[in-house]
Amino acid sequence: MKTSWQYPHRRWNPLRQSWVLVSPHRTQRPWQGEVGQKSVPSAVSYDPECYLCPGNKRAGGAVNPGYASVFSFVNDYSALLPDLPVATPAQESPLLQAEAVRGLCKVLCFHPDHSLTLARMTRAEIRTVVEAWTREYEEIGGLDWIEYVQIFENRGAMMGASNPHPHCQIWSTGFLPDEPAAETIAQRDHLSQTGRCLLCDYLETERSAGERVIFENEHFAALVPWWAVWPFEVMLVSRRHAGALPEFDGEERDALADALKRLTTRFDNLFETSFPYTMGFHQTPTDGEPHPEWHFHGHFYPPLLRSATVRKFMVGFEMLGMPQRDITAESAAERLRAASEEHFWPRS
């Protein structure tokens, strides 16, 4: 049965254990806010000023090799460092808590061609990236002091990407960050209370309903979650219960590459623009503890709201009260289902 919500309501996010306010009637209001610039794919395959292109010098002075596929390196300006200071200053009050933390920040270039994005890469090229993500997760997560490996991509200037070259970041931490920590608690609670996996149950519910599922292949499903906050937010969920990338076999990694290609192409075709987003994978912590509750999934958080130039801002009530969205998850899924999987800007 199809859901029809055309009045204000709130929806529960069981994965984050929080609410989101939905206000569908607000889509009728006139827009007088910021209008951004439409982004089209770059036509420049090599940029001599790009610090990620093959053979170029980076800001820190290192020179990139003439790589022909993927390439990773430790971030020249890392937000986290692997070494702790000798001592941390004592605090005057228990209300002023702080602790030194360790981490390792890397950059992974997807492709030597400066003009590409995941949406315009081939499935085979994306499959190589999936293999690189798996290798990085295993190698970094294998360090005895790393507790979490966060793979993420900021796509487009609208999401703060300072360089359009196809790449992602991998921030690995000696602690469990807030978002995966909250998801750990939620998934653990569900497993304890029901004996079942939270995302296995949720995916079964969504596949039965159908109205928020965008597409599926043999091993992954792409859907607009019931609790979506961003206008065209999407969650990519493995159909088999597995906690992390290394648990997937070759066919499943092929399917992940296929799902990424299909989803990012649909995003670009929605408004015929190089679609901005922040995306990342949530997977099993690497803290050495058993995590049977964890189920691999990816989050896509795109800011575009009405067109290629009108974005959603998280301000006001969202910052002071709770997240709020205007279009329903069902209508967003319907529009993404209707988007073509043949990219509007063919690769030459």
Write out the chain's pLDDT in tens, 348 residues: 466 677 899 999 999 999 999 998 765 555 445 556 667 777 899 999 999 999 999 988 999 999 999 999 999 999 999 998 767 778 889 899 888 899 999 999 999 999 999 999 999 999 999 999 999 999 999 999 999 999 999 999 899 898 999 999 999 999 999 999 999 999 999 999 999 999 999 999 999 999 999 999 999 999 999 999 999 999 999 999 999 999 999 999 999 999 999 999 999 999 999 999 999 999 999 999 999 999 999 999 999 998 998 899 999 999 999 999 999 999 999 999 999 999 999 887
Domain ranges of the chain: 13-26+38-79+101-338
What are the tens digits of pLDDT across the range 73-109? 999 999 999 998 767 778 889 899 888 899 999 999 9
**Catalytic residue positions?**
167
Instruction: Give the pLDDT confidence score for residue 1 in this predicted structure.
Output: 45
Class of domain 13-26+38-79+101-338: alpha beta
Q: Count CB-CB contacts under 10 A for residue 256.
A: 26
What are the tens digits of pLDDT across the range 144-180? 999 999 999 999 989 989 899 999 999 999 999 999 9
Q: Count CB-CB contacts under 10 A for residue 96.
A: 8
CA distance 71 to 150: 18
> Judging by DSSP bridges, how do beta strands 213-216 and 18-22 pair with one another?
unpaired
Give yes or no for a contact between 325 and 5, defined as CB atoms under 8 angstroms apart: no
Print the SS3 string covering the chain. CCCCCCCCEEEEECCCCEEEEECHHHHHCCCCCCCCCCCCCCCCCCCCCCCCCCCCECCCCCECCCCCCCEEEECCCCCCCCCCCCCCCCCCCCCCCCCCCCEEEEEEECCCCCCCCHHHCCHHHHHHHHHHHHHHHHHHHCCCCCCEEEEEEEECHHHCCCCCCCEEEEEEECCCCHHHHHHHHHHHHHHHHHCCCHHHHHHHHHHHHCCCEEEECCCEEEECCCCCCCCCCEEEEECCCCCCHHHCCHHHHHHHHHHHHHHHHHHHHHHCCCCCEEEEEECCCCCCCCCCCCCCEEEEECCECCCCCCECCCCCHHHHCCCEECCCHHHHHHHHHHCCCCCCCCCC
What are the tens digits of pLDDT across the range 111-126? 999 999 999 999 999 9
Instruction: Give the pLDDT confidence score for residue 332 in this predicted structure.
Output: 96
Closest alpha carbon to 264 in 229, 322, 215, 310: 215
